[in-house]
Amino acid sequence: MTSYNPMRALPTKSGYGKGDVLVLCGELFGRGYANGIVEEATRRGMTIIGTTVGRRETDGTLRHLTAAELHEAEQNLGGRVINIPLEAGFDLQPADDGRSPADQLKGVKPDAWESVRLDWDNIEQARLLGLARFKANLASVVTELEKMIPANANVLFAHIIGGGMPRARMLMPVFNKVFKGQGERYLSSAAFWGSELGRLCKLSFDEVTADTFAHLIEATDSLRQAIIARGHKAAYSAYGYHGCEALINGTYTWQSYTPYVPGWAKMRLEEIAAAARSRGIGATVFNSPEIQTNSSALFMGVEIPLYLFLEALQKEGATALAAELREECRTLLRDDVTIEQMLAAATSYLASPVLNQFAAFETWPHHNTPEQAELMLNCSARLMGMNRNPKEIVCAALSTAVVNGVGKLILDSMWEPKAHVYWLNHDIIARRLAQGE
Ligand SMILES: NC(=O)c1ccc[n+]([C@@H]2O[C@H](COP(=O)([O-])OP(=O)(O)OC[C@H]3O[C@@H](n4cnc5c(N)ncnc54)[C@H](O)[C@@H]3O)[C@@H](O)[C@H]2O)c1
């Protein structure tokens, strides 16, 4: 397992600028981590090249974006999007018998989650076919990239893909219990992970969240070598998650969200970066803080440490931004709630003795317990209830700040990538934001 490597010193500002290229592996959707790096690259005058996950027709076929969708995606990105579907994984991939793994679950009742027996030959066939499709489409993307990347450009390939929840209807109520259930609705993540459905999820997370990074590096082998031979830089970044330090009662403390079952895939991602680095390739996974995005919405409670980012900003001297964000948060909170009450509520969960058994980094990721789930979910709901309007929340404002800081740190440190993995904790992000442009 990767040893803990928090970034403690700010990297020197990078030389990426006009004429250099940022390539996104994964589609930009609006409020995720990729927005930070795209914004920062745009500010520096870099050219942005995007990709798309493609779209699924109602009959299940994977297709390109329509002209209108492509136009919207390019407007959103501020750059060209290569219109070749880069959906990874195999959940909707028909095997030789015409059935996909998701089809196997049609008609299965959610209550039967533990007793479901899957046809693993079908799953393996679908996996291999899905992999072949992804690799073939990625090869076509790289052919386009070779035409689009100017001869004098430094290139940063940013892997932004994270996911792999199999898209089977019966799984949603099961996930809701694993991630959001308490009391009678509590479901043990260990029991789920030990079931055949858990095994299917593990395969799917590995394939989507981790292995796509290896495929990206492999598919761009000759492109990378050509860029380097021309005297320029070619490097790869990816977003990981492996817990994060937040300022809890005045001390930066590593904590993590439980039950983060994609965590094993995230560790596999770190190993892929380590393997690439041992071959002399500049590949780095940036383990990033918990924020609210489309992808994290299911993990209710993951956002609790985010509230404490306000404390880190203050401590690290980002005084102007801290004041601005405090004011923004104040207007978003109900009249009868103060920022101090909000911070105290977040701290009460993170400093609770109930979390002692989840404090070990070595045994991460951890499975839930009824007591932990109840405490976390109630705390999360209480904090959400402090917002005046559930559609305009404090977490969104704080997420934007973290996304910006992370984008700057990645772009800076990828100029001379020095490690295969870094933890970007609240301290270094706050210090980077304090530094300004
Ligand atoms: N949100 C968090 O708290 C958090 C924390 C640390 C790291 N991350 C990581 O940051 C990265 C970006 O995620 P985000 O939270 O900003 O959310 P997001 O939803 O904006 O991004 C997820 C990306 O993954 C892509 N994706 C998902 N399934 C895919 C599939 N089957 N094939 C191809 N692409 C697929 C989506 O198209 C999207 O580009 C992910 O790797 C995520 O794990 C997120």
Write down the pLDDT at residue 229: 98
Q: How many domains does the chain have?
A: 1
Share of the chain above pLDDT 70, in %: 100
Rounded to whole angstroms, the Cα distance separating 122 from 98 reads 9
Of all protein residues, whose CA lies closest to atom 41 belonging to ligand 1?
162
- Judge whether residue 1 has pLDDT over 80: no
Residue 185 included in any domain:
yes
DSSP letter at 136 equals H
Average pLDDT over residues 222-247: 98
User: Which pLDDT band holds residue 363 (cuts at 50, 70, 90)?
Assistant: very high
Torsion of CA 31, 35, 36, 41, to 10 degrees: -170
Q: In which domain, by residue range, is 173 found?
A: 21-300+401-435
- From start to end of 114-213, where are the E strands? 155-159
Cα distances from 8 to residues 308, 417, 432, in angstroms, run: 18, 15, 11
Q: Whose CA is nearest to atom 29 of ligand 1?
A: 163
Q: Side chain identity at 420, as an amino acid letter?
A: H
Which amino acid belongs to residue 115? Answer: S
Q: Which of 23, 18, 41 is nearest to 406 (CA)?
A: 41
Q: Which atom of ligand 1 is nearest to the CA of 31?
A: 20
Q: What is the pLDDT of residue 278?
A: 97
Q: How many CB atoms lie within 10 A of CB 211?
A: 21
DSSP element (H, E) containing 47: strand 47-52
State the pLDDT confidence band at 30, using cuts at 50, 70 and 90.
confident
Asked whether residue 365 is domain-assigned, the answer is no
Give a yes or no: residue 139 inside a domain: yes
As for ligand 1, residues whose beta carbon falls within 6 Å of it are: 26-27, 29, 32-33, 53, 86-89, 160-163, 208, 239, 241, 288, 290-291, 293-296, 302
pLDDT band at 13 (very low <50, low <70, confident <90, very high): confident
Band of the pLDDT at 45, cuts 50, 70, 90? very high
Count other Cβ atoms within 10 Å, centred on residue 198. Answer: 19
Residues 6+ apart with CB under 8 A from 383: 303, 304, 307, 342, 345, 346
- Identify the residue whose C-alpha is closest to ligand 1 atom 3: 290
Would you say residue 385 lies in a domain?
no
DSSP letter, residue 155: E
Report residue 197 CA to chain centroid gap: 22
Residue 396 lies in a domain: no
Instruction: Using the mean position of ligand 1's atoms as its centre, give its distance from the Cα of residue 341 in Å.
Output: 31
Q: Looking only at Cα atoms, what is the longest distance across the chain?
A: 62
CA 54 to centroid of ligand 1, rounded, Å? 15
| pLDDT for position 294 | 85
Per-residue pLDDT, averaged over 42-59, amounts to 96
d(Cα 196, Cα 108) in Å, to the nearest integer? 13
Q: What local confidence, expressed as pLDDT, does residue 127 receive?
A: 98
Residue 304 confidence (pLDDT): 98
Averaged pLDDT for residues 243-272? 98
pLDDT digits (tens, 9 = 90+) for 62-116: 999 999 999 999 999 999 999 999 999 999 999 999 999 999 999 999 999 999 9
Judge whether residue 295 has pLDDT over 90.
Answer: no
Give mean pLDDT, residues 352-362. 97
Instruction: Return mean pLDDT, the chain.
Output: 97
Can you tell me whether residue 13 is helix, strand or coil? coil
pLDDT digits (tens, 9 = 90+) for 124-171: 999 999 999 999 999 999 999 999 999 999 999 999 999 999 999 999
Nearest CA owner, ligand 1 atom 40: 162
**Which of 28, 37, 138, 160 for a ligand 1 pocket mutation test, highest count of atoms within 8 Å of Cβ?**
160
Task: Say which CATH number the domain at 171 has.
Answer: 3.40.50.720
Report d(CA 286, CA 284) in Å as an integer.
Answer: 6
Q: Do the domain assignments include residue 422?
A: yes
**Residue whose CA is closest, atom 43 of ligand 1?**
162
pLDDT tier, 260 (very low <50, low <70, confident <90, very high otherwise) = very high
Task: Assess if residue 389 is contained within a domain.
Answer: no
Looking at the domain assignment, is residue 110 inside a domain? Answer: yes
Q: How confident is the model at residue 364 (pLDDT cuts 50, 70, 90)?
A: very high
Q: Return the closest-CA partner of residue 241 out of 162, 356, 313.
A: 162
For residue 91, the ligand 1 atom closest to its alpha carbon is 31
Between the CA of 208 and the centroid of ligand 1 the distance, in Å, is 10
Which H or E element spans position 84? strand 80-85
Place of tokens 């136009």: 71
Contacts with 16 (C-beta within 8 Å, 6 or more apart), sequence order: 22, 41, 44, 46, 154, 156, 411, 414, 415
CB atoms within 10 A of CB 178: 26
